[in-house]
Structure 1
């Protein structure tokens, strides 16, 4: 390709020196139908003749290069190839080197048939997400089924002063390719042109028998390359049960060195100004509060609800936070800015706190990654109070309660912004309260049932339910509860297809109380049910209430060889009362069945009280959360959840129909059961 076009966000030009160069003849020679290629085509699969990927890093720029040739044998692939979007960051340029097709053995340049548009990528700006990213839309005319599409492109990010962290540190994670594709040749090259040494760590690679190999760490000096190459290659990973092998590349450092580097940046910000200087009105409000716990609550909710959260993608590239005086004056800031302001306020009221760096999205992988400040994408606040550690995300909104009553944020790994810190693992957690505390009363008399549900939500549940009731139409809320009860009372099995509004008459739901200090949100649902009994195909009647939320399907169904099960269930308590004016079978196996499970990761009890006209069950579920269940403990954990699902998640009572013949039939049934 001789013609070069310089646009700004994209260029049509030759590759950079580090990417190398390939001419048309060499390209055509590499697209050969080997026996491996013919087999893929005969199996009806798309095939990639070759894929060359290169990643280049220096102290002034990062670059990614790709050259590939693949078949368009499937209409879906033809569609995707015809129209595509590329998103580039600020000061990042997308370079097109070659767009061609090999059609009937003839190489055809498709750049003249390519239309390129540059669009703003600001679709979330109304939600406080600011970004100067650009979206490059590429449309290629006249691609045909059975063409071989050849794409050669690169993207280069040149560092500005705002990218000071990227100048100092490099991080790149290579993940093994999608196992849908078959590759004649797959090649990945990492090129280190930095002054600093780059470490790389190979993780979740397997031996020939499928066993995970021990992670392997090696190093690249300036000018050295790492190459991963495979021929006639299909990634053997089982995507449903295994983690794709990956290689983490990062500037060689220790967590302790990194914590010293980052903490020095934050210390400079903390010492710029005191709260007394820039927020005298806020100090007046704090001084008017006598109780320290109430002061902490006020401080957290002031920052969460009065400082608008702006995620500035460009500024998040570095770890330098905004001055807290500016955050307070402008009433807006990103996660770093809001966290710093909250810490400054906590410092003023004498509460020990620190900033911690996290990445909720890749939390599981952090323990496998090499040390790098670029691992983290979020900042929150750690508070030490009453000999307990609390973690507060200052970017959240509409969260309430004293510190111990607030919602719990799930994550495991973090780096504290203090000198000489190692990567830390958060302790497992046991809720000091029930997230759900519900009482169910269902009374059947003659042919009418009266149903009352009284529920207290706490912590995360209270915050979520408060938002739900605030933002959801009342009729929609009632329908949601009706649908839930339709299954809980087993009506789905004897009146399926019936409008739930015709089953639950005069249904209402009201907020009983909302205590924002205890963070308790209490509601009550009431309805009348005509024909309250579930009737089986043999006309046997039952009064039933089984809450399927108690059954943790994710624990029972979990299957993975590499990922441990992440335990994050809420603590729950239920009291279910079923009453009737009919006689019931007080000895029925499942009616009287109780359970007591003491698993290392949760306690579960169900206790019952049976009378001649009704029964009560008390269910308590107390999990130990925010931890991974080790694989050697998981089968016992799964089995215990199967036990809960075996009729221990609710209550059912059998009605003994009146009349001599019914009594005799019931007696015979019990005798020969």
Structure 2
């Protein structure tokens, strides 16, 4: 390999001056039993006597130091301590300062009992994701239950020429510790040795009553430090319903200053060469297409499917975007490179496009974070066309459709790579089509039922279902549908334990059509069902079809105090036809029940048509998505979803059994309902 650089990944040495030095006797003095420590031991928990964590940043490197002492009273913690892995980035060095145990009051140096191996980090090392990370495997011999393990180490990341953003800007997020651990002493220190002022923002800290405090913003000049310190400390956060308190540290800049910094870097890349110079064959294909819609589709799918996605896991923002000519020639590039090439192609055909920076994983936190380019970990393309904005991820594969029919990407915050920009929020979105449009026909004659499902998927659903059918064995696909129908037809209520393949006889599933321009994928499932009626314990017979996909359990069960509910459901449409040669109860409450819900965040409509031998239900669900439901509106949102779940997500019909006595029983039941 050209320009291969051998680096040292770990060292055993004393800590740096900024981290401080602690001698053996001071360590022993800090490891003292207390009522607080004894209480944790009595509760069966491990206990951390002290944890000192320091983060040091300068214009030449970032460093993180930790010194801690904790008990090994639990076998699981003993196992984790005996063998551990440390992953270091490219050019990052792991420094081991001390590995010791305090055993029966005696401090024992365990570095001679430590074996260290440096391995390639295999995490995310396939599928176009390149990583020069190294994994440092540390094995410590002869650790024993009830030892107190003492670790002192640091990680040092010197900046190379590629790390121009890290040289220019600092970004670090401290998150309060796991609330399993109890700490006799917990101390975190942030040290600013950069020439620039660093801002820090405390968020989701709480008062004594558990109420979230207003965020606080403070500043650190060069040479200043921030200290967070607690004694006898257990993080009080309710991990299942609250966000852990965190502090965001970032170089003091606003979004306009940051966009003015990054925009010229991209503009320089755009200006390197024209499409005519490096891609004449591509232009020839573009020119042969009859209209602009098809040219846009071709451009997107060319970059998505013909340019191999290579993601440098060390640093998304660590270097300038690759020139589009290089990306086209090599047929590979990271998200920035692929996005830049797509924009250059769209520029050529006269379609307005720009690069935008996003972070799908931390999208919710963007409004709380301080402005920083290092917050983003991905680049996509924003296309403005016919009065609408569309967002396209150039790294995705096997997506189809003209622009308005392509899949929708869920996220809210982005920074457009143009001068003088603020962090932007996308508008909420309502699908102009139904992502799922399904017709269910269940016709029963004598004791045989014929079931047919015809389903059209569109947008994201079409892309996903197309991939599913391509990559999955057809028998497995049929079993999946059989299993779903086993519950939808309520057979789980009267024939549990029966082999599903023996219930759904001669089941088939076929692709009816695949329109890659409209991005519509249509399938049909068919099966024969002997004994098609659900029979309750009193031998009453029913035909039922309830699609639990309409019951949004995540909305009904949501309980988080801090995170607003993120609304990202698909639009759905169903026509359910249940017909039999038997008479049915045409006035049964749930058979005729209809509903109409007009919530600000979704519309739901269920309409019925009932005859003496069956019924049809027409159901439409149309949500307003890509938004957070405000807390003061969530309970109404939840209640309306409970209404959907109250027998409005399908159709059931009651069979009137033949015979005089059964008719009399039915009339009696009807009279005294």
TM-score computed with the length of structure 2 as normaliser: 0.99
Contact in 2 for aligned 1:162/1:315 (Cα 8 Å) = no
**What residue in structure 1 maps to residue 409 of structure 2?**
409
> Any idea what SS the aligned residue of 1:656 has?
coil
> Any idea what SS the aligned residue of 2:126 has?
helix
**What residue in structure 1 maps to residue 311 of structure 2?**
311
**What residue in structure 2 maps to residue 3 of structure 1?**
none
Residue 473 in structure 1 maps to residue 473 in structure 2? yes
**What residue in structure 2 maps to residue 342 of structure 1?**
342
**What residue in structure 2 maps to residue 28 of structure 1?**
28
**What residue in structure 2 maps to residue 451 of structure 1?**
451
> Any idea what SS the aligned residue of 1:343 has?
helix
**What residue in structure 2 maps to residue 259 of structure 1?**
259
Contact in 1 for aligned 2:440/2:454 (Cα 8 Å) = yes
Contact in 2 for aligned 1:437/1:457 (Cα 8 Å) = yes
**What residue in structure 1 maps to residue 574 of structure 2?**
574
Aligned-residue offset at 1:672 = 2.0
Contact in 1 for aligned 2:163/2:319 (Cα 8 Å) = no
Aligned-residue offset at 1:126 = 3.1
Aligned-residue offset at 1:122 = 3.7
Aligned-residue offset at 1:316 = 1.9
Q: How many angstroms apart in 2 are the aligned matches of 1:564 and 1:319?
A: 35
Structure 2 residues without counterparts, runs of 5 or longer:
1-5
Q: How many angstroms apart in 2 are the aligned matches of 1:319 and 1:663?
A: 80
How far does the alpha carbon of each residue in 1:392-416 deviate from its partner, in whole angstroms, 9 at most, with x for none? 0000000000000000000000000
Contact in 1 for aligned 2:162/2:319 (Cα 8 Å) = no
Q: How many angstroms apart in 1 are the aligned matches of 2:313 and 2:267?
A: 23
Q: How many angstroms apart in 2 are the aligned matches of 1:256 and 1:193?
A: 25
How far does the alpha carbon of each residue in 1:597-642 deviate from its partner, in whole angstroms, 9 at most, with x for none? 0000000000000000000000000000000000000000000000
Question: What's the Cα RMSD here?
Answer: 0.9
Alignment of 1:36-47 (within 5 A): 36-47=36-47
Q: How many angstroms apart in 1 are the aligned matches of 2:600 and 2:319?
A: 39
Alignment of 1:220-619 (within 5 A): 220-314=220-314, 316-318=316-318, 320-619=320-619
**What residue in structure 2 maps to residue 55 of structure 1?**
55
Contact in 2 for aligned 1:186/1:229 (Cα 8 Å) = yes
Contact in 2 for aligned 1:50/1:69 (Cα 8 Å) = yes
Contact in 2 for aligned 1:52/1:186 (Cα 8 Å) = yes
Contact in 1 for aligned 2:7/2:91 (Cα 8 Å) = no
> Any idea what SS the aligned residue of 1:468 has?
helix
Q: How many angstroms apart in 2 are the aligned matches of 1:336 and 1:602?
A: 36
Contact in 1 for aligned 2:58/2:192 (Cα 8 Å) = yes
> Any idea what SS the aligned residue of 1:11 has?
strand
Q: How many angstroms apart in 1 are the aligned matches of 2:125 and 2:227?
A: 40
**What residue in structure 1 maps to residue 3 of structure 2?**
none
Aligned-residue offset at 1:462 = 0.1
> Any idea what SS the aligned residue of 1:248 has?
strand
TM-score computed with the length of structure 1 as normaliser: 0.99
**What residue in structure 2 maps to residue 623 of structure 1?**
623
Q: How many angstroms apart in 1 are the aligned matches of 2:365 and 2:150?
A: 34
**What residue in structure 2 maps to residue 78 of structure 1?**
78
> Any idea what SS the aligned residue of 1:638 has?
helix
Q: How many angstroms apart in 2 are the aligned matches of 1:457 and 1:205?
A: 45
Contact in 2 for aligned 1:90/1:132 (Cα 8 Å) = yes
Structure 1 residues without counterparts, runs of 5 or longer:
1-5
Q: How many angstroms apart in 1 are the aligned matches of 2:672 and 2:148?
A: 73
> Any idea what SS the aligned residue of 2:163 has?
helix
Contact in 1 for aligned 2:382/2:391 (Cα 8 Å) = yes
**What residue in structure 1 maps to residue 208 of structure 2?**
208
Aligned-residue offset at 1:218 = 0.3
Residue 657 in structure 1 maps to residue 657 in structure 2? yes
> Any idea what SS the aligned residue of 2:226 has?
strand
Aligned pair count reads 668
How far does the alpha carbon of each residue in 1:24-74 deviate from its partner, in whole angstroms, 9 at most, with x for none? 000000000011111111111111000000000000000000000001111
> Any idea what SS the aligned residue of 1:127 has?
coil
How far does the alpha carbon of each residue in 1:472-531 deviate from its partner, in whole angstroms, 9 at most, with x for none? 001000000000000000000100010110000000000000000000000000000000
**What residue in structure 1 maps to residue 138 of structure 2?**
138
Contact in 2 for aligned 1:122/1:130 (Cα 8 Å) = no
Q: How many angstroms apart in 1 are the aligned matches of 2:9 and 2:319?
A: 26
